[in-house]
C-alpha cells in the first residue's frame, strides 16, 4: 500500500446505504466530530487488504468501557472497498451502526497510510491507557463550579417570585421549542394525523360556521372591555389575532400548538375555576391560571390512554359519526376556546351534539 489510500465518500454512502439526511450518517458524523473515536489504527495489512481496529466511547455512558470496532478494507490500485465491519454495540452486527459510520467517515478524511499500527499488546492495553484521560475529560462537575460561572461569581443575585420563574420558563419554551426543556414539558412525541381531505375540510368549515350562529356569543361580543392601558390592548390583540380555521387544524396535529393556543384563553375545562373564584387578588389568580403547574396522576393517564377506545366504542354502540377536532375558538370572542372530546355529526356533516368522555379508573362504564 504505497499510494495514498483513502476511503471514498461516495463508497461510504453506498456502504451505509444512506443520504445526507440518514440517521446513520448524521449520528456517525456527530460521534466523530465529538471526538468519541479515541483509537483507530491498523492491526494487519497486506498489499490487497487492511484490518482496522477502533475504540469508540459509549454515547450514553462516556466513562464505561468503549465499543470495539473491527473491520477489513480491500485495497486495489483504483479504490478501497469495505469487506466487512462489526461493532460490539447492540446494532453492531448489522455492520452499519453509528460507531462504524464514524470510523468509516474518519477513513474518508484520513489516508489509511497515516493510521497508526496497533499490535495485539496495544489492543489489550488501549483502554487502560485512555481510561484516565477520558474520565478526566468527561468528569461531571456541579454547574456552580463551571468556569463560565466562576468568572461571574460576583454577580448580584435577586429573589425571583415563583410566578416570574414560570413566565421565564414559558418564554424559554416558546423561543426554543426543540430544547430538552420544551420536549420534556410537552412530551417528545406528537400525534401524527394525515392532512385533511376535502370532506374533512368541509366539516371543519361547518363546525366554525355553526359556532358563529350562537346568539350568546354575539351578545357577549357586544360587551365593552375596558383595558387598563394601551399596552394591555396591544397584548390582547397579539395573543388572540389568529385564524380560527388554522388554529383548529394546527391544534389537532400538534400538542405544542394546542398548549400555546389555550394558555391565555378561557377554556371549557378551566372556566369553572374563574366563575367560582371569590377572592380579590386577581393578579395572583391570573398568574396561576395562565402559568399553571403541570399535573398528572394515574387517573389522568388512564383517561388519556382510554379516550380513543371509548370514542370508538361509542360510535359502534350508537351508530353515530364522531368527529375529532382540535381547539375551537369563538370568532366573535377569540379569548374563548374549547377542545371537545368529539362532535356528533348529522347526515349533512354538520355538528349536532358534542360528547364528553369520562373513563373511570375502576369499572367499565363509559359516559
Domains of the chain: 9-137 (no CATH), 195-355 (3.90.320)
pLDDT at residue 183, rounded to an integer: 66
pLDDT at residue 134, rounded to an integer: 78
Q: Which of 138, 69, 150 is nearest to 107 (CA)?
A: 69
pLDDT at residue 367, rounded to an integer: 43
Distance between CA atoms of 3 and 1, rounded to whole angstroms?
6
pLDDT at residue 157, rounded to an integer: 66
Sign of CA dihedral 312, 314, 317, 321: negative
pLDDT at residue 268, rounded to an integer: 87
pLDDT at residue 194, rounded to an integer: 45
pTM of the predicted model over 0.75: no
Per the CB < 8 A criterion, the answer to whether 70 and 51 are in contact is: yes
Chain-centre distance for alpha carbon 308: 23
Ramachandran category for residue 139: left, alpha or beta (phi over 0 → left; psi -120 to 50 → alpha): beta
Distance between CA atoms of 263 and 17, rounded to whole angstroms?
45
Angle between helices 98-109 and 23-33 (to 10 degrees): 60
pLDDT at residue 1, rounded to an integer: 57
pLDDT at residue 237, rounded to an integer: 84
Neighbour tally for 244: CB within 10 Å: 19
Q: Which of 162, 130, 157 is nearest to 144 (CA)?
A: 157
Name the stretches of the chain with pLDDT < 50. 188-196, 364-367
Q: Which of 267, 54, 38 is nearest to 138 (CA)?
A: 38
Average pLDDT, the chain: 82
Return the half-sphere exposure (C-beta side, CA atoms, 13 A cut-off) of residue 81: 8
pLDDT at residue 72, rounded to an integer: 94
pLDDT at residue 152, rounded to an integer: 61
Amino acid at each position: 500500500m504505497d499510494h495514498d489510500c483513502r476511503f471514498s465518500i461516495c463508497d461510504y454512502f453506498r456502504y451505509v446505504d444512506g443520504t445526507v439526511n440518514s440517521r446513520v450518517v448524521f449520528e456517525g458524523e456527530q460521534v466523530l466530530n465529538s471526538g468519541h473515536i479515541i483509537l483507530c489504527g491498523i492491526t494487519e495489512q497486506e498489499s490487497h487488504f487492511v484490518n482496522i481496529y477502533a475504540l469508540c466511547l459509549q454515547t450514553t455512558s462516556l466513562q464505561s468501557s468503549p465499543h470495539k470496532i473491527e473491520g477489513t478494507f480491500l485495497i486495489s490500485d483504483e479504490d478501497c472497498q469495505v469487506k466487512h465491519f462489526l461493532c460490539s454495540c447492540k446494532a453492531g452486527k448489522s455492520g452499519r451502526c453509528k460507531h462504524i459510520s464514524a470510523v468509516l467517515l474518519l477513513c474518508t478524511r484520513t489516508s489509511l497510510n497515516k493510521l497508526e499500527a496497533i499490535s495485539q499488546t496495544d489492543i489489550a492495553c488501549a483502554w487502560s491507557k485512555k481510561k484516565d484521560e477520558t474520565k478526566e475529560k468527561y468528569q461531571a462537575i456541579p454547574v456552580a463550579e463551571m468556569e463560565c460561572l466562576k468568572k461571574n461569581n460576583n454577580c448580584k443575585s435577586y429573589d425571583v417570585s415563583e410566578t416570574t420563574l414560570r413566565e421565564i420558563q414559558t418564554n424559554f419554551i416558546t423561543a426554543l421549542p426543540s430544547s430538552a426543556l420544551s420536549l420534556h414539558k410537552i412530551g417528545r412525541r406528537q400525534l401524527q394525523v394525515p392532512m385533511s381531505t376535502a370532506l374533512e375540510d368541509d366539516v371543519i368549515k361547518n363546525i366554525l360556521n355553526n359556532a358563529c350562529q350562537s346568539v350568546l356569543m354575539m351578545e357577549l361580543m357586544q360587551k365593552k372591555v375596558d383595558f387598563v392601558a394601551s399596552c394591555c390592548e396591544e397584548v390582547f390583540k397579539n395573543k388572540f389575532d389568529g385564524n380560527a380555521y388554522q388554529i383548529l387544524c394546527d391544534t389537532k396535529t400538534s400538542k405544542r400548538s394546542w398548549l400555546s393556543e389555550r394558555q391565555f384563553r378561557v377554556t371549557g375545562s378551566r372556566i369553572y375555576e374563574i366563575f367560582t373564584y371569590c377572592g380579590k387578588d386577581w393578579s395572583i389568580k391570573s398568574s396561576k391560571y395562565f402559568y399553571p403547574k403541570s399535573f398528572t396522576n394515574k387517573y389522568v393517564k388512564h383517561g388519556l390512554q382510554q379516550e380513543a377506545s371509548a370514542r370508538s366504542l361509542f360510535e359502534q354502540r350508537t351508530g353515530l359519526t364522531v368527529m375529532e377536532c382540535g381547539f375551537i375558538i369563538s370568532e366573535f370572542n377569540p379569548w374563548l376556546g374549547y377542545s371537545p372530546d368529539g362532535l356528533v355529526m348529522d347526515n349533512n356533516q354538520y355538528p349536532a351534539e358534542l360528547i364528553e368522555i369520562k373513563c373511570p379508573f375502576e369499572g367499565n362504564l363509559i359516559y
